[in-house]
Amino acid sequence: MKLTKLKRITIILQEELESKLASELKAIGIKGYTVDKVRGEGLDGFRGSEWEGENMRMVSVCSEAVCDKILQHLQQHYLDQYACIVYLSDVEVVRGERFL
């Protein structure tokens, strides 16, 4: 089966911002995303209950060009203000055209 090399971007951020972030990323060019609720601890303290606010992990697969734009956007609007974690990885996906 044909595989396409793409980037997977993972963003961990407070869940209140999910819909805002999702619409911004769609405007930048992602075709879809997956979100799950996560908890954990980092330099900005523990996030793990409704009281403290919960975190979500948003995952999307996109081209390297879109990925660069997303990183710039996050740099400008999120990274210095919110407790936000971002990382990338290389993935090989089936039906690559669906992500472009």
Partner 1 sequence: MNLELLLPNLLTPMVLAFVLGILATRLGSDLKFPDAIYTLLTIYLLVAIGLKGGYKLSHTPFQSFILPILAAIALCILIPIWSYWILKRFGKFDNYNAAAIAAHYGSVSAVTFSAVVSYLDSMKSINPAASNYEGFMPGLLAIMEVPAIFIALFLARKYEIQSTASNDKATQVNMGAVIKELLAGKSSILLIGFLIIGFVIGDAGYNQVAPLFDAPFRGFLTLFLLEAGLMTGRRFEDLKKIGLFLVAFGICMPLIHAMLGIGLAKASGLGVGGATILGVLAASASYIAAPAACRIALPRSNPTFALTASLAITFPFNIIIGIPLYHNIAQYFYSL
Which of 5, 20, 95, 98 is in the footprint of partner 1 by CB under 8 A? Answer: 20
Structure token pair of residue 19: 């819909």
Structure token pair of residue 76: 């400008």
Which CB atom, from 41 or from 97, has the smaller least distance to partner 1?
41
Count the neighbouring beta carbons within 10 Å of the beta carbon of residue 49: 9
Tokens 């971002």 map to which residue? Answer: 86
| Residue 67 C-beta: closest distance to partner 1, Å | 21
16 binds partner 1 (CB under 8 A): yes
* Sequential DSSP letters for 23-51: HHHHHHT----EEEEE-EEETTEEE-BTT
The site map against partner 1 for 39-58 (x = CB under 8 A) is ------x---xxxxxx----
Q: Which residues form the interface with partner 1 (CB under 8 A)?
A: 14, 16-17, 20, 45, 49-54, 76-77, 81-83
